[in-house]
Amino acid sequence: MTTALSHPDYPAFLAKLKERILHARISAARAINHELVLLYWDIGRGIVEKQQTAGWGDSVVERLAADLCAAFPDMRGFSPRNIWDMRRFHVAYTDPHFLAQAARKMARDQESSILRQAGAKLETRNNPECEAFLRQLVAVIPWGHHLLILNKLTDPAARLYYLRATARFGWSRNVLLNQIKAGSYERAVTEKKTHNFPIALPEYFAEQAAETMKSSYNLEFLGIRREMKERELEDRLITCLQQFILELGYGFCFVGRQHRLVLGRKEYFVDLLFYHRFLKALVAFDLKIGPFEPEHAGKMDFYLNLLNDKERAPGDRPSIGIILYAEKDDIEVEFALKTKTNPIGVAEYQLQPRLPLRFKGRLPTARQLADVVRKAQSSPS
């Protein structure tokens, strides 16, 4: 009889058990976090309700912290500071401005009229559907992430963006912090984007497509400190594909690089091709190391025609093109895209750290400095 240790099936058996144990530990940790966050939500809600209905003052927090610590000496998390955070946690996510953002977001994401009506009800406080939605949203995110969002952000829309992104992507706390520092929300939502989606796509799809695109992409993770060719930039992106997809946003699935398209006897190659799970559309990326040129839009329009004709599956929506540049002129881009029938977006990328937000608007941009130099050179000495 062979022993378990010498049996050829034993290593696979052990590996499978290890995987199962690891999965159980992760599931248990998530369940504990789920209950812990909901407990903190209920404590914060209870304090707010008593202060509103019974006129309790702020001293209740200190008293509650002392009594809970005495009753549960082995449990952490009942310090006065943390209980203040529980109250702040509940107040922040039941703020009317936050609820309004959540309602609009939910209504935009869902095409069902029933779900749109449910989303509209979120704007009303003390609504059971509102309470259920919020509890479900906050419970999937660890407490430390909530504190980071509350401490770093004040805009309700930005808070909702990072909450949803963390829940979708499973960001660690360090990744969340880096995304906040890199201004992911501003680049995805608030900054001006250049594209022709409204004229090339149906209204409901154009809005969804615009939301998946950023005004600029942060490629600092490539570690580039010198001039390089487009193929070299593409090589770096493929090497750091996981980080690049994280920067692109939720739903992007990598199809391939230098994706081959054939028309007659000629071959054409798309730099990077993705499929977006929720847009249900192919998304082609063209990488340029120089400034935007109008003919680049024509080339992308041609590629999209080929993709729609040869690669688009039944039920897929029209293919989308995004051209990434080191620099672009919004007016030039606008005119170049006016006559294109396919949806094309143009965005910049950054290879160096972005200017801190506190300096934004206080220092001249590279273009402003170039204009000053140009005027100085053209003026008589």
User: What is the domain-level CATH number for residue 309?
Assistant: 3.40.1350.10
Same domain flag for 48 and 168: yes
Which of residues 161, 182, 203 is at a domain's end?
Answer: 182
CA contacts within 13 A on the Cβ side of 236: 16
Q: Quote the number of domains for the chain.
A: 2
* Residue 210 included in any domain: yes
- Across all residues in the chain, what is the average pLDDT? 78
Distance CA 59, CA 327 (A): 56
* Residue 1 included in any domain: no
What tens digit of pLDDT does each residue of 212-267 get? 777 777 676 666 555 566 777 777 777 777 778 777 877 888 898 899 999 988 99
Same domain flag for 216 and 250: yes
What per-residue confidence (pLDDT) applies to 87? 93
Through-space distance between the first and last CA atoms of the chain, rounded to whole angstroms: 99
* Residue 365 included in any domain: no
Please give the residue that has the higher pLDDT: either 44 or 354: 44
* Sign of the dihedral through C-alpha 364, 249, 231, 273: negative
DSSP 287-332: E-SSB--HHHHHHHHHHHHHHHHHTPPTTPPPPEEEEEESB--HHH
Average pLDDT over residues 198-212: 76
Same domain flag for 30 and 140: yes
Q: By mean pLDDT, which of 163-167, 334-338, 366-370 is the weakest?
A: 366-370
Distance CA 47, CA 69 (A): 17
How much of the chain exceeds pLDDT 70, in percent? Answer: 77
Same domain flag for 170 and 231: no
* Residue 96 included in any domain: yes
Residue 151: count of CB within 10 angstroms of its CB: 10
pLDDT at 168 over 90: no
Residue 313: count of CB within 10 angstroms of its CB: 8
Distance CA 109, CA 101 (A): 12
Domain, as residue range, for 271: 189-354
The residues pairing with 256 across neighbouring beta strands, listed in sequence order, are: 273
> Between the CA of residue 102 and those of 51, 98, 121, 140, what are the distances in Å?
26, 6, 10, 16
CA contacts within 13 A on the Cβ side of 69: 14
Please give the residue that has the higher pLDDT: either 142 or 4: 142
Same domain flag for 193 and 178: no
* Residue 374 included in any domain: no
Same domain flag for 292 and 309: yes
pLDDT at 374 over 60: no
Same domain flag for 157 and 227: no
Which of residues 150, 182, 214 is at a domain's end?
Answer: 182
* Residue 123 included in any domain: yes
In this structure, what DSSP letter does residue 150 have? H
Same domain flag for 111 and 236: no
Q: Strand, helix or coil at 155? A: coil
Average pLDDT over residues 323-351: 82
The C-alpha torsion from 360 through 366 and 371 to 374, rounded to 10°, is: 150
Same domain flag for 107 and 245: no
What tens digit of pLDDT does each residue of 92-142 get? 988 887 877 776 666 555 433 333 444 444 444 455 666 677 778 788 888
Q: Strand, helix or coil at 257? A: strand
DSSP 13-49: HHHHHHHHHHHHHHHHHHHHHHHHHHHHHHHHHHHHH
Residue 160 one-letter amino acid: L
* Residue 363 included in any domain: no
* Residue 218 included in any domain: yes
Which of residues 158, 182, 206 is at a domain's end?
Answer: 182
Average pLDDT over residues 349-374: 51
